[in-house]
């Protein structure tokens, strides 16, 4: 029986609100999965690098704790130099477990630097290592946004080490499964696909007029929404250029809500560039920047919006699209990551192959101009989102963890 899981989230704490700094969909994933596992009787300690003077151990609930480990300075540092402190972090995790007399059944690492720490930790404890990569450097480098900086060779080498050393590698989609196999040479019998989920207790349909009133929007506004970090990878310029065309094409006022903060290398530069683009196009009255918002506040934005836009050059899954659909909001996006699993093209939204702003604007105009179509898309969005839940993901993980303890070879748990 699996009783305790050590989760490694080295570079991103689940205590930080997603949409700012390095906190994104992975942050939501780690916390929501831990809380869903708790409902199955599994205790989770989430280990992260200490970046503030928060208490060393914070209890989120009876079965979920966040443990901050000293590794390098207690401040946020660029991901590019975080590798310098991985060994210190791993030693700190092991020391904490020794002092607490904690025994863990499984180590589950998230992102490549956590995986590097996880290899030694799992080996020292004699337990399986499950690893979720979330994003892949080879994939990101293959779909770089114009002017973006390629992922480093250090990351490429680190990912290769983790992919070789983990007992089981988790893919969020079949596409990621193929990428791990074809681009990294991961053996098929160590790969398992488990889709992320959404918290249907929070993300659900609600009163649109109330949501709009809370955000200061008029009932007849045409409302576009973006939710996510602001960095070149997210391709926000495409949505801005599409919005410019929609202002004159729609019979009602367009309002574009941007929720999220600058993130990663070049994030501040990208935010300033997008702000400059908005001003140069005369879109100042139409675009509202809200910065990063608490995760529990996002349903208000989703319910207020007519459509969510996802313009990423690459995504590991696309949790914002899933959350939007769970609130009944259609999505117009690029066909990346898990969006083809979430968005039913032509039924709950549109997936646009071209990055031509005119084509993107055309799909948006259709959704924003046809009430009957929008209503059908909204209903289909709810149906699509119902297929995904954190409880379902936790059940799959729980089964995997227990199989790894029971079977002598990992492939018995993946094939």
116-125, 227-236, 263-272: least confident range: 263-272
Decide if pLDDT at 19 tops 70: no
- Three-state secondary structure readout of 171-211: ECCHHHHHHHHHHHCCCHHHEEECCCCCCCCCCCCCCHHHH
Gap between the Cα atoms of 212 and 314, Å rounded? 30
Reported as a single tens digit per residue, the pLDDT across 371-393 is: 999 999 999 999 999 999 999 99
Quote the pLDDT of residue 319: 94
CA dihedral 231, 236, 237, 240 (to 10 degrees): -140
Q: Could you give the CA distance from residue 51 to residue 66 in angstroms, rounded to a whole number?
A: 13
Phi-psi group of 370: left, alpha or beta (phi > 0 → left; psi -120 to 50 → alpha; rest → beta): beta
What tokens does 299 get? Answer: 């349903």
For 266, the token pair is 């070049």
Mean pLDDT is lowest, of 41-45, 74-78, 169-173, 309-313, for 74-78
Contact 197, 36 (CB under 8 A): yes
* Domain locations in the chain as residue ranges: 4-197+389-413, 208-385
- Is the confidence at residue 153, as pLDDT, over 60? yes
What mean pLDDT is predicted for residues 65-77?
A: 94
**CA-to-CA distance for 282 and 280, rounded, in angstroms?**
6
Tokens encoding 248? 């004159």
The token pair at 243 is 């919005």
User: Model pTM?
Assistant: 0.93
What is the pLDDT confidence band of residue 81, given thresholds at 50, 70 and 90?
confident
Is the model's pLDDT at 117 over the cut of 70?
yes
Cβ-Cβ contacts under 8 Å for 178 (sequence gap 6 or more): none
Q: Can you tell me the distance from the alpha carbon of 42 to that of 55, in angstroms, rounded to the nearest whole number?
A: 23
| CA pair distance 272, 24, nearest whole angstrom | 20
Fold of 4-197+389-413: Rossmann fold (3.40.50)
Q: Is 247 helix (H, G, I), strand (E, B) or coil?
A: helix
Angstrom distance (rounded) from CA 83 to CA 366: 47
User: What is d(CA 53, CA 56) in angstroms, rounded to the nearest whole number?
Assistant: 8
For the chain, percent of residues with pLDDT exceeding 70: 98
18: pLDDT strictly greater than 80: no
Dist. CA 7–CA 130, nearest whole Å: 9
Residue 256 has pLDDT above 80, yes or no: yes
Average pLDDT in the chain: 94
Domain spanning 208-385: CATH superfamily: Glycogen Phosphorylase B; (3.40.50.2000)
pLDDT at residue 324, rounded to an integer: 98
207 has pLDDT over 60: yes
Residue 20 has pLDDT above 60, yes or no: no
The bridge status of strand 307-310 relative to strand 331-333 is parallel
- 394 in helix, strand or coil? helix
Q: What is the pLDDT of residues 393-410, one digit of tens each?
A: 999 999 999 999 999 899
Distance CA 346, CA 332 (A): 10
Collect all residues with Cβ–Cβ distance below 8 Å to 317 and sequence separation of at least 6: 25, 172, 173, 195, 196, 337, 338
Torsion over CA: 242, 245, 250, 252 (sign): positive
Whether 21 has a pLDDT exceeding 70, the answer reads no
Q: Per the structure block, which two tokens stand in for 286?
A: 């139409």
Q: How far is CA 41 from the centre of its chain?
A: 25
Does this chain's domain 4-197+389-413 share its CATH topology with 208-385?
Answer: yes
pLDDT (0 to 100) of residue 73: 94
**Averaged pLDDT, 171-180:** 94
Instruction: pLDDT band for 264, please (50, 70, 90 cuts).
Output: confident
């Amino acid at each position: 029986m699996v009783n305790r899981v050590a989760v490694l989230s080295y570079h991103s704490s689940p205590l930080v609100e997603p949409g700012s700094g390095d906190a994104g969909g992975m942050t939501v994933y780690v916390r929501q999965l831990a809380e869903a596992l708790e409902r199955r009787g599994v205790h989770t300690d989430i280990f992260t690098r200490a970046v503030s003077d928060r208490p060393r151990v914070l209890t989120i609930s009876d079965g979920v704790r966040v443990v901050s480990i000293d590794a390098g300075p207690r401040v946020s540092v660029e991901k590019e130099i975080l590798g310098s402190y991985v060994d210190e972090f791993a030693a700190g995790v092991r020391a904490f477990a020794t002092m607490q007399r904690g025994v863990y059944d499984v180590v589950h690492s998230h992102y490549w630097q956590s995986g590097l720490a996880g290899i030694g930790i799992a080996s020292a404890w004699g337990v399986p290592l499950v690893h979720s990569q979330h994003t892949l450097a080879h994939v990101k480098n293959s779909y770089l946004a114009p002017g973006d900086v390629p992922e480093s060779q250090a990351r490429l080498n680190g990912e290769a080490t983790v992919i070789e050393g983990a007992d089981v590698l988790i893919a969020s989609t079949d596409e990621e499964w193929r990428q791990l196999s074809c681009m990294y040479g991961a053996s098929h019998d160590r790969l398992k696909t488990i889709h992320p989920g959404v918290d249907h207790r929070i993300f659900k349909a609600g009163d649109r007029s109330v949501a709009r009133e809370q955000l200061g929007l008029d009932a007849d506004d045409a409302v576009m929404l973006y939710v996510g970090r602001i960095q070149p990878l997210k391709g926000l310029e495409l949505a801005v250029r599409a919005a410019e065309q929609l202002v004159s094409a729609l019979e009602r006022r367009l309002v574009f809500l941007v929720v999220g903060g600058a993130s990663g290398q070049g994030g501040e530069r990208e935010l300033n560039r997008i702000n400059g683009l908005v001003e140069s196009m005369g879109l100042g009255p139409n675009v509202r920047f809200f910065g990063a918002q608490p995760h529990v506040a996002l349903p208000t934005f989703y319910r207020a919006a007519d459509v969510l836009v996802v313009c990423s050059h690459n995504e590991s899954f696309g949790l914002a699209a899933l959350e939007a659909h769970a609130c009944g909001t259609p999505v117009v996006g690029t066909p990346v990551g898990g969006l083809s699993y979430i968005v039913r093209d032509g039924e709950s939204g549109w997936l646009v192959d071209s990055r031509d702003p005119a084509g993107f604007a055309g799909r948006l105009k259709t959704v924003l101009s046809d009430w009957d179509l929008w209503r059908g898309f909204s209903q289909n969005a709810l149906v699509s989102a119902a297929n995904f839940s954190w409880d379902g993901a936790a059940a799959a993980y729980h089964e995997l963890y227990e199989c790894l303890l029971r079977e002598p070879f990992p492939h018995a748990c993946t094939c």
